[in-house]
Amino acid sequence: MKKQTWLWITGGSTIILLIVIVIIASIIIPQSPTPATTAPFVITTMTHMEGDFKDDQNQNIFNKRVENMRWAMDLFDEYGAKLTFETEKSFATANTKWGLNILKEVISRGHGVGSHADFGAKPGTSLTDMTEQFKQLKSLIDNLVGAANNLGVSGGTGPTDWVTSAAAAGYKYRDAVTGFGYLSMPASARPSGWTNSYIVQTAYHDPIPPNLMDRIYPIPLQDAKDLVADPGAPTIMMGGDIGELASLAEGRSNCFPNCTFDSSDITIVTNSIDQIIAGRDTARFAKINIHIPMELLAPTNETLLRTMLSAIKEYTDGAKLSWDTQLGAYQQYINLEK
């Protein structure tokens, strides 16, 4: 009996000793931290088929535009990069008129399509009229690529509620929101000095909010009264814009309409990426967006475009950044939120 008691005591002591050793080891030996989840950092582009394009009036202009679009997609494909072509009515109409649905081809090749609205900046437009204009634009493009491929719109901002009107037409996200977007907001919801006259004369095309780090995160919006996030709102402002590519170094208000695309603009692109990587909240989805006008997507700019795409590829190869279309970026954000 004494022997059993002694074995029980020594056995218990051994167990206690082992527990103590494990506790001490856990304190002394550094433990590998649980990896934190890093949300995506996405780069997108947008190319606007403007409302004053004459593609629906001149087939030769349309054919040349199509030729450059195909050339640009071939080039971007080499680098795993994505283009998104956002169109107004004239170019969309040309797709049907000339019997060549290049927008559907864009989708089939893995690039993106969306809408571009050149209306809304003038005062006096009713919410009903604004909504109807968005509906007409969306219907035209939906018929070419399908409603599911046309969920976003750029432009179409101004004094009238550009969030509510676009949402009523079926748009789910807004990209490329510029200074015109503040016209629907009271002075208290704008940056200091952003008066109507300053916006209309100078900052109408500048990305908003003015601070890059304030606009890299998507913002759910219920209406266009401010840019404060409305959780659960039906419209997402997918920003991250750094501006029109050829104007990045000069500032668009200083050089438009004669801005020159050169290496200094590419430096702004990479500097912006570096700034975001260094300062972003890695738990939140982030986006950077480059506006590449259609006139820049031409063989005459091949060297510069390759230089830019090569520079960006260093980030994507290092898994610091990934390419997507505007629609793809929106879908990534929505899936992450769910």
**CA 338 – CA 335 distance, rounded (Å):** 5
pLDDT at position 46 is 98
For residue 276, CA distances in Å to 69, 151, 280, 321, 333 come to 29, 26, 5, 10, 17
Q: Is the pLDDT score of 112 beyond 60?
A: yes
Cis check: omega of the bond before 257, within 30 degrees of 0: yes
pLDDT at position 105 is 98
Q: Is the pLDDT score of 299 beyond 80?
A: yes
Q: Is the pLDDT score of 31 beyond 50?
A: no
For residue 252, CA distances in Å to 180, 215, 245 come to 15, 18, 9
Specify the range with the lowest mean pLDDT, choosing from 8-17, 42-51, 112-121, 236-245. 8-17
pLDDT at position 14 is 47
Mean confidence (pLDDT) of the chain: 91
Angle between helices 59-78 and 302-317 (to 10 degrees): 40
Q: Is the pLDDT score of 30 beyond 80?
A: no
Q: Is the pLDDT score of 25 beyond 60?
A: no
For residue 8, CA distances in Å to 1, 18, 19, 20, 269 come to 11, 15, 17, 18, 72
- Name which CATH class applies to 41-337: alpha beta
% residues pLDDT > 70 (the chain): 89
Q: How many other CB atoms are there within 10 angstroms of residue 247's CB atom? A: 23
- The confidence band for 29, taking pLDDT boundaries of 50, 70 and 90, is very low
pLDDT at position 245 is 98
For residue 80, CA distances in Å to 77, 199, 309, 321 come to 5, 37, 9, 12
* pLDDT one-digit tens code per residue, 238-273: 999 999 999 999 999 899 989 999 999 999 999 999
Angle between helices 263-279 and 302-317 (to 10 degrees): 20
% residues pLDDT > 90 (the chain): 86
pTM score: 0.88
Written as one letter, the residue type at 225 is K
Cα torsion angle, 336, 109, 147, 117, sign: positive
- The confidence band for 36, taking pLDDT boundaries of 50, 70 and 90, is low
Question: Which of 272, 265, 337 lies closest to 307 in space, CA to CA?
Answer: 265
pLDDT at position 338 is 85
Q: Is the pLDDT score of 35 beyond 80?
A: no
- The confidence band for 20, taking pLDDT boundaries of 50, 70 and 90, is very low
**CA 175 – CA 218 distance, rounded (Å):** 10
